[in-house]
């Protein structure tokens, strides 16, 4: 808030003293809560600080109520307008999402008539879930507005009420004009695309991953639709059909989804990513991970890849040029947050591809990774089909609407209860997921969010790991000393001597050769079984292992019974059985 700036400019001991008094009243040590400076409050400090030259902005009570105090659900109405972007078929909230908000206690959920029709959700479905149907203006005029695409600056932003709350994709780095327009309406805007992806609890709100998963799947379907052959290889009476070869550039959520889909369809898949961690994930899906000769980490912040050095880019361009001549399909997914998508497949690479090949550019909306891509269209470039659709998730409208509705409804219902404001909507900066997504707060810019401080638990875990590594190193050094080697050798020799002596004694005291043979086999089987179970992590023990142990026990008892020569016990072994 502007209040924080006012406080930081306080001059003199009087101002600083009142500041400390107010913070003591609130029970905190950080910046003062905006509630303490409301006009008309019995202890407003405006008069007390008149001699210091500090001025306070006039804040309305409704504005303060949107802060950490929270607003009860039963005082808030939610609006869900129909998406106006051309070709958009998704809807921000499904009937199941409406039912969840109504169950939580929201006063009203108003859905624009026909908003879900393209996603196969009728108005009757919404009304059955408890929604009220209305017009575009009605939906935008509610306290909280839920959307998928950013609102149109000229036609939709003016419909928002002053001080409304908006939750949708916003892409603030690319839409500064839209952010300014929302600020003039004093809107509190939260961007679903800015929710931190590295926070465990925020993964259930991660709409970017949900949509990327669908986009990767649909990209393979679109490629198969335009590709003139099978994906899987076949040997038929008419001849052999080779499998399609696919190159996926980028091993994020969309890339991994494309890999899994293509492998299930029988294609040979190769993957390239600048992040080494992707290699294991790609291989687990059955894909071949490609590398270059330059070692450079591509790990960036927030789970994204970073921009690479000039030398690395030249090496990967050489790799792509070689692969383009061999593969049939190229799917690209490379994006850099807040910047234009990097061009990875040049014109000459497309020209070198075999006739009938296909490229699918999942970064088309941000400029494209393929130089021949035309956003929103399918074009031919020298016999190669170049797909540049920007609405791949929208081409599966029912599924994508369902997942997005789950993301946004759970995010909305977590704002407040997670920080102790049960049954209330609250933009609380203590909630890392909310703070990361917060772009505007009552018209004030809050984006980008400050970096998340490392947790004490994580620091403690790191220190514990370092101590464990040091202890292991010291133990290894001690074990390598001559005295330790001598002691270990003596113990091993003694154990072997005792074991051999036991075997010799067993042979001398055995009543028959058959008994000795079976007892020896039983002992060896016990050792093998023990080592097998002991070598498995306890977390992986399963009922199957329990059944296996039970069968082994029955086998052991049967062996003991046979060793006695009948069902009547004739010795210690028979009695034990």
State which H helix or E strand residue 445 sits in.
strand 444-445
Q: Which among 418, 445, 472 is the end of a domain?
A: 445
Q: Using an 8 Å Cβ cutoff, are 335 and 363 in contact? A: yes
- Considering the domain architecture, whether residues 118 and 172 belong to the same structural domain is answered as yes
The enclosing domain of 184 has a CATH number of 3.40.50.720
Tokens 């989804």 label which residue? 257
**272 vs 279: CA distance, rounded Å:** 8
Q: Which residues have C-beta within 8 Å of that of residue 70, sequence separation ≥ 6?
A: 416, 421, 424, 425, 426, 428
**1 vs 24: CA distance, rounded Å:** 20
- All residue ranges of the chain with pLDDT < 70 are 1-68, 298-306, 452-480, 506, 531-577
466 lies in a domain?
no
C-alpha dist (Å) from residue 102 to 109, 411, 415, 461: 7, 15, 16, 42
- Considering the domain architecture, whether residues 338 and 387 belong to the same structural domain is answered as yes
- Considering the domain architecture, whether residues 276 and 303 belong to the same structural domain is answered as yes
Return the DSSP state at 353: S
- Considering the domain architecture, whether residues 405 and 384 belong to the same structural domain is answered as no
- Considering the domain architecture, whether residues 375 and 427 belong to the same structural domain is answered as no
- Considering the domain architecture, whether residues 172 and 321 belong to the same structural domain is answered as no
42 lies in a domain?
yes
Instruction: Residue 532: count other Cβ atoms within 10 Å of its Cβ.
Output: 12
pLDDT at position 346 is: 96
- Considering the domain architecture, whether residues 75 and 154 belong to the same structural domain is answered as yes
State which H helix or E strand residue 130 sits in.
none
- Considering the domain architecture, whether residues 242 and 315 belong to the same structural domain is answered as yes
Task: Look up the domain containing 386 and give its range.
Answer: 211-395
Model pLDDT for residues 58-87, shown as the tens digit of each residue: 333 333 344 467 899 999 999 999 999 999
- Considering the domain architecture, whether residues 119 and 91 belong to the same structural domain is answered as yes
pLDDT at position 18 is: 38
pLDDT at position 435 is: 94
490 lies in a domain?
no
- Considering the domain architecture, whether residues 76 and 134 belong to the same structural domain is answered as yes
481 lies in a domain?
no
The 8 Å CB, 24+ separation contacts for 158-163 are: 160/185, 160/187, 161/185, 162/186, 163/62, 163/63, 163/66, 163/187, 163/188, 163/442
22 lies in a domain?
yes
- C-alpha dihedral sign at 71, 77, 82, 85: negative
pLDDT at position 59 is: 36
**460 vs 102: CA distance, rounded Å:** 42
Tokens 């003991």 label which residue? 560
- Considering the domain architecture, whether residues 166 and 99 belong to the same structural domain is answered as yes
- Residue 237 corresponds to which tokens in the numbers above? 């009476």
C-alpha dist (Å) from residue 563 to 162, 421, 449: 90, 72, 75
pTM over 0.85: no
End-to-end CA distance of the chain: 80
- C-alpha dihedral sign at 479, 481, 487, 493: positive
**394 vs 31: CA distance, rounded Å:** 44
143 lies in a domain?
yes
Please identify every residue annotated as catalytic: 197, 203, 206, 209, 304
Q: Which among 445, 475, 507 is the end of a domain?
A: 445
Q: Which residues have C-beta within 8 Å of that of residue 114, sequence separation ≥ 6?
A: 82, 123
Model pLDDT for residues 153-210, shown as the tens digit of each residue: 999 999 999 999 999 999 999 899 999 999 999 999 999 999 998 888 899 999 999 9
Q: Using an 8 Å Cβ cutoff, are 285 and 216 in contact? A: no
Q: Which among 59, 86, 103 is the end of a domain?
A: 59
195 lies in a domain?
yes
- Considering the domain architecture, whether residues 186 and 236 belong to the same structural domain is answered as no
How many domains does one find in the chain?
4
456 lies in a domain?
no
pLDDT at position 543 is: 54
pLDDT at position 27 is: 39
Q: Using an 8 Å Cβ cutoff, are 59 and 89 in contact? A: no
The 8 Å CB, 24+ separation contacts for 8-15 are: 9/54, 10/49, 10/52, 10/54, 11/52, 11/53, 11/54, 12/52, 14/48, 14/49, 14/51, 14/52, 15/49, 15/52, 15/54
What are the residue ranges of helices labelled H in 188-328? 207-226, 253-264, 277-284, 310-324
Q: Which residues have C-beta within 8 Å of that of residue 218, sequence separation ≥ 6?
A: 392, 393, 395, 396
């Amino acid at each position: 808030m502007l209040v924080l700036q006012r406080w930081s400019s306080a001059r003199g001991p009087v101002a600083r003293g009142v500041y400390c008094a107010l913070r003591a009243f609130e029970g905190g040590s950080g910046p003062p809560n905006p509630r303490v400076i409301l006009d008309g409050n019995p202890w407003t400090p405006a008069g007390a600080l008149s001699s210091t030259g500090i001025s306070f902005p006039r804040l309305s009570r409704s504005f303060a109520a949107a802060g950490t105090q929270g607003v009860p659900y039963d005082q808030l109405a939610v609006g869900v307008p129909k998406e106006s972007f051309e070709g958009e078929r998704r809807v921000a909230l499904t009937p199941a999402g409406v039912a969840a908000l109504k169950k939580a206690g929201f006063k009203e959920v108003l859905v624009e008539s026909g908003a879900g029709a393209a996603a196969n959700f009728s108005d009757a479905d919404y009304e059955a879930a408890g929604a009220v149907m209305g017009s575009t203006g009605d939906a935008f005029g509610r306290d909280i507005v839920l959307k998928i695409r950013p609102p149109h600056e000229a036609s939709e932003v003016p419909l928002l009420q002053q001080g409304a709350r908006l939750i949708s994709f916003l892409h603030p780095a690319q839409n500064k004009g839209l952010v300014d327009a929302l600020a003039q309406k004093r809107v509190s805007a939260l961007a679903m695309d800015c929710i931190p992806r590295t926070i465990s609890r925020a993964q259930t709100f991660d709409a970017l991953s949900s949509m990327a998963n669908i986009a990767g799947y649909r990209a393979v379907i679109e490629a198969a639709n335009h590709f003139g052959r099978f994906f899987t290889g076949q040997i038929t009476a008419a001849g052999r059909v080779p499998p399609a070869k696919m190159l996926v550039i980028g091993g994020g959520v969309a890339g991994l989804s494309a890999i899994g889909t293509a492998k299930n369809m029988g294609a040979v898949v190769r993957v390239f990513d600048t992040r080494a961690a992707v290699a294991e994930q790609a291989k687990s899906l059955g894909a071949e991970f490609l590398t270059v000769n330059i070692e450079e980490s591509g790990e960036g912040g927030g789970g994204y890849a970073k921009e690479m050095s000039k030398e690395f880019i030249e090496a990967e361009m050489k790799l792509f040029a070689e692969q383009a001549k061999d593969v049939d399909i190229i799917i690209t997914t490379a994006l850099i947050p807040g910047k234009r998508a990097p061009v990875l497949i040049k014109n000459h690479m497309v020209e070198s591809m075999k006739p009938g090949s296909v490229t699918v550019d999942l970064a088309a909306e941000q400029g494209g990774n393929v130089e021949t891509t035309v956003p929103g269209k399918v074009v031919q470039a020298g016999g190669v089909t170049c797909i540049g659709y920007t609405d791949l998730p929208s081409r599966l409208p029912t599924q994508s609407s369902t997942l997005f509705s789950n993301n946004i409804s759970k995010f909305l219902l977590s704002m407040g209860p997670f920080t102790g404001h049960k049954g209330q909507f609250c933009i609380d900066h203590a909630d890392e997921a909310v703070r990361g997504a917060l772009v505007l707060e009552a018209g004030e810019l809050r984006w980008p969010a400050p970096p998340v401080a490392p947790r004490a638990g994580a620091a403690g875990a790191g220190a514990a790991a370092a101590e464990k590594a040091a202890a292991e190193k010291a133990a290894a050094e001690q074990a390598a000393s001559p005295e330790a080697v001598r002691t270990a050798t003596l113990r091993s020799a003694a154990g072997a001597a005792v074991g051999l002596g036991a075997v010799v004694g067993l042979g001398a005291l055995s009543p028959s050769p058959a008994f000795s043979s079976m007892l020896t086999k039983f002992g060896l089987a016990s050792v093998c079984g023990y080592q097998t179970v002991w070598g498995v992590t306890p977390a992986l023990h399963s009922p199957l292992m329990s059944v296996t142990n039970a069968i082994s026990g029955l086998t052991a008892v049967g062996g003991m019974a046979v060793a006695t020569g009948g069902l009547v016990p004739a010795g210690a072994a028979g009695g034990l059985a």
